[in-house]
Structure 1
């Protein structure tokens, strides 16, 4: 366990550094969008491309892994909405319940998970982790955004919201970086050495800057939210993310293996650990954009990130 904590500590320490820098105004809030832009449009795509290009394409097209992870995502979205949506009092409607479901289902795989899992399990862990990013970006986020529109619109409004979500995915460089990496792997292509060296420099910057940015984003969300949020509105969702999500993936995954599905055990271990990650920090930005209770979402992300230092390390200890 101590050896695991020695690996995970620097990752969470960088999040804490970003949080402290923003809270103490060492990092101006106006600078945070710039860090986000650097990570999202430059560093992280280069990291994902590099991992995708070095991963056998069969790992990136693992239908069994996609099926298991997608089924778990759909079940968890349904469960979270069912237990959090407050119909009689109208306190948590479709909008807040849907983004609560998204934050309970969408791990922080891109900014934190890929580099952390590679550090713990080796480069082979990148393939299954990248598969989960594609599922969460294409399906989980689009579904939850569509469901969030059911408060104020009919099914047509939900369809429009889903279309907007898919357009947002199309403009997100992460899926394209994964696709380009997979094509490079599949066709055995390689970029010129100077280009690869440039990509490598950006890729190496992705992990530390992304983790620092997570902390800054969490601090900004907390500082910009004045109203208090009842514990019952965010603690259960954080626990769903950290406990129920990995347990559900494990149960369905091992059940699928027992039923004869060709699912690699190492890949399943990686995906279970992906599910044990804290909530994705970008959900707070989506919640703000679509008018959900951003204070509640920010608290879920913050609490899941703090608790994940212990729960994620425990999950790694149990599975490896």
Structure 2
């Protein structure tokens, strides 16, 4: 346990360094946004392309794995949404959350920081065998659950889902550099062509900036987010850090998912709330304070919970 904690500590130390830089105003909001764009569009995309290009496509898509992750996450999603609707999780606290607000809170409970934290951390901690399962979780989060929350909010607000609602979702998926990078890498892998040495060096150099850049950007962005409504945030953090990995672990066990892949799935589910959840909350003007505080709190607490989960996984 101590050895794993020490291995994860440098990752969280980078997040803490970014937070300190943001808190001291040594790194402005504009600088944080620019660094995030660099990581999102360039460094992380290079890393994902390199991973996918060296991956057999059969290692990426495992129907049983996908069903277990989607099933376990959906079960928690429905539980969190029902709790928000019945327990008065709205900002005013005087009534149950609206359908769209409950959907956003449920989304918060199942979307982890797989792209910026999970990809670089879990591949280092769990080895190359984690690449396929981590990319699978990232794809499901980006394609399935991000689409789901958009459609639910549109249906709740307008009473229906129209073509005008679907087109922005499709444009967002097609234009997402992480999805594009993974598809391009898998396409290259399908051609069974070796990467030229200069291209390999380029991807290594650029992709090498993804881990420190992403972690620093996470910390700096956390320093800029408001921290309020701790009760709701604590509930959401508990759901994300404890209930989510437990739920997908149960689903993986029921569906007899291959043990190594199941372990990576559980570790990915144990990641803290993703920063892009706040982007969605801000865009839809839904539960912004609850979501931002949940991101901050779950990231801080995951310094302790994530090494424990990984320790349990490595012990079988």
Band the TM-score falls in, shorter-chain normalisation? over 0.9
The reply to whether residue 307 of structure 1 matches residue 301 of structure 2 is yes
Query: Alpha-carbon deviations, 1:161-197, whole Å to 9, x = none?
Result: 4542332121111011111112222321233322221
Query: What are the equivalent positions in structure 2 for 1:1-320 lying under 5 Å apart?
Result: 1-86=1-86, 89-90=94-95, 92-156=97-161, 160-222=164-226, 228-229=228-229, 231-257=230-256, 263-320=257-314
C-alpha RMSD of matched pairs (Å): 1.7
Query: Alpha-carbon deviations, 1:285-317, whole Å to 9, x = none?
Result: 111111113221110111111111111111111
Which moves more between the two structures, 9-18 or 65-74? 65-74
TM-score (norm 2): 0.93
- Secondary structure of the 1:105 match is coil
Which moves more between the two structures, 92-101 or 5-14? 92-101
Deviation at 1:85, TM superposition (A): 2.3
- Secondary structure of the 1:137 match is helix
- Secondary structure of the 2:279 match is helix
TM-score (norm 1): 0.92
Query: Alpha-carbon deviations, 1:43-77, whole Å to 9, x = none?
Result: 01111111111222211121111111111222222
Give the paired residue count: 309
For 1:130 and 1:67, how far apart are their aligned partners in 2? 15
